[in-house]
Amino acid sequence: MASMASILRSNSPFWRRLGFLGLGAAMLAGLGCGGSGRQRLVLYSPHGPELLEVVEKRYEELHPELDVIWLDMGSQDVFDRLLSEKANPQADVWFGGPDTILAQGAAQGLLAPFRPSWAEAVAPESQHPENLYFGLYRTAPVLAWNSKLVAPADAPADWEDLLAPRFQGKVLLRDPLASGTLRTLFGSILARSVAETGSPERGFGWLARLDTQTREYVLNPALMMEKLARGEGLVTVWELTDMLWQKQRGRPLEFGFPRSGTPVIDDSIGLVARAPHAELAKAFIEWIGSPEAQRLAATASFRLPARQDLPAAELPTWAQKVLGDLVPAPVDGQLLTRESAGWMRRWDQEIRGKGGSWAAKP
């Protein structure tokens, strides 16, 4: 022990620094982990703080005994986390994400059945047959362009315009594998081809032509928006809610609904299987679909209600305008669920970056 003392006595700056490091770590840990003592309700959500903060504040006003906690992450990350925590779930509510990802979660047994009373008010195709998840908000792919570089007369008015010569090499797209919005668009184009010709080939041909127009498939959404704003490309396909948000914050972008219609995406919600606070979670899901909460989300952060029984006059002006402009394209949801993964794999292997040679095929 005398030798231990000699280390301490050695008075070396290295040991002292190490000691300070440890002390500092302990102090910060104490600072970081202060609990509130209230009962926790845990949401995993891709919605972002602009909605989650509003929801948290209002729900805690209604239930002062609760501490609403949200972990904000990408919709694919929500799935990853829930899967890795399957043996010991930490979350109560899977709050948001395109229904395609919640469908993956349902297939992995990550969701528990719960049918809120508002389920009747959403469209039948937005209701899961086994009550695992329900559409809560609606969104859709829209055409978006750089308003500094594209004159109003040149703006695209329909999907077909993306293939126009003026946008040759000027289309920027998010990587369709990583984007639920583009997956839905591609799927709807292929599904329409199946419905009209019996096979997806015509649809793949169209996507091959789109590939030849495309400058780049950008994986990261923030980067994609920067590139569009900085003029690396002129047009893109983007998600409605985010577009409204970007425009309101002053980005020089403009968007429009395609004339021929756009596939509507269900942003869904579900109860996590074996949730630690299942009863609290059910009460929250019940509330978040109420007319009050739907209007709150519409007013605070551009969420278009999935409920169809809300009078349009009670919605904010932007929502009334969107409901007037949006032409929903009919999509065979079952076909899409069945074929989507295979179609996207084929697109990835045969068309991505090779659209020219694909389109030249007889």
Partner 1 sequence: MRRLAPIALGLVLLWLVGYPLLVTFGAALAGGGGPDAPLGRFARAPAEWLALWRSFWISVASVAGAALLGIPLGFLFERRDFPGKALLGALVALPVALPPLVGVIAFLFLFGESGFLSRAVMALLGRSEPPWRLAGPGAILLVHAYSMYVYFYLFTRAGLARRDGALEEAAATLGASPRKVLWRITLPMLSPAFAGAALLCFMTSLGSFSAPYLFGGSWRVMTTQIVASKLNGDLGLAQVETVALAAVAVVSLLGLRRLEPRRRLTGTVRGLAPRPRPLASSWARWGACAAATVLTLILLSPHLTLVLISLVPFGTWTLEPFPPVLATSNYTGLLSSAESWRPIASSLWMAAAATLVALVLGFLAARRAARGGAGGRFFEGLLALPWALPGTVFALALASTFSVHAPWLGRIVLVGTPWILPLAYVVRALPLTGRSALAGLAQLDSSLDEAASTLGAGPWRRFARITLPLLRPSLVAGAGLAFMTALGDYVTSIVLYTFDNRPISMAIDGILRRNDLGLAAVYGVFLMLASSAAFLAWGRERQAG
- 299-358 positions binding partner 1, by CB under 8 A: 341, 344-345, 348-349, 352-353
Which range touches partner 1 (CB under 8 A), out of 48-56, 119-127, 259-267, 309-317?
48-56
How many residues touch partner 1 under the rule CB under 8 A: the total is: 78
Which of 199, 220, 320, 334: binder of partner 1 (CB under 8 A)? 220
Q: Tell me the DSSP string of 326-347.
A: --BPP--HHHHHHHHHHHHHHI
Q: Are 94 and 82 in contact (CB under 8 A)?
A: yes
Q: CA of 254: how far to CAs of 69, 222, 236, 247, in Å?
A: 35, 17, 11, 7
Smallest separation (angstroms) from partner 1 to the CB of 158: 26
Q: Which two tokens stand for residue 45?
A: 């959500």
In one letter, which amino acid is 312?
A
Which of 64, 129, 165, 250: binder of partner 1 (CB under 8 A)? 250
Q: Which two tokens stand for residue 104?
A: 């993956």
Is residue 283 a contact residue for partner 1 (CB under 8 A)?
no
Choice between 128 and 307, CB closer to partner 1: 128
Which of 38, 54, 63, 73: binder of partner 1 (CB under 8 A)? 73
Is residue 164 a contact residue for partner 1 (CB under 8 A)?
no
- What is the x/- site pattern for partner 1, positions 93-132, by CB under 8 A? -----------x----------------------------
Please give the residues from 229 up to 248 whose contact with partner 1 meets the rule CB under 8 A.
229-232, 242, 245-246
In 3D space, the residue among 343, 332, 48 whose CA is nearest the CA of residue 177 turns out to be 343
Which bin fits 302, alpha (ψ -120 to 50), beta or left (φ > 0)?
Answer: left
Please give the residues from 172 up to 201 whose contact with partner 1 meets the rule CB under 8 A.
177-178
H helix or E strand, kind and range, residue 93: strand 93-98
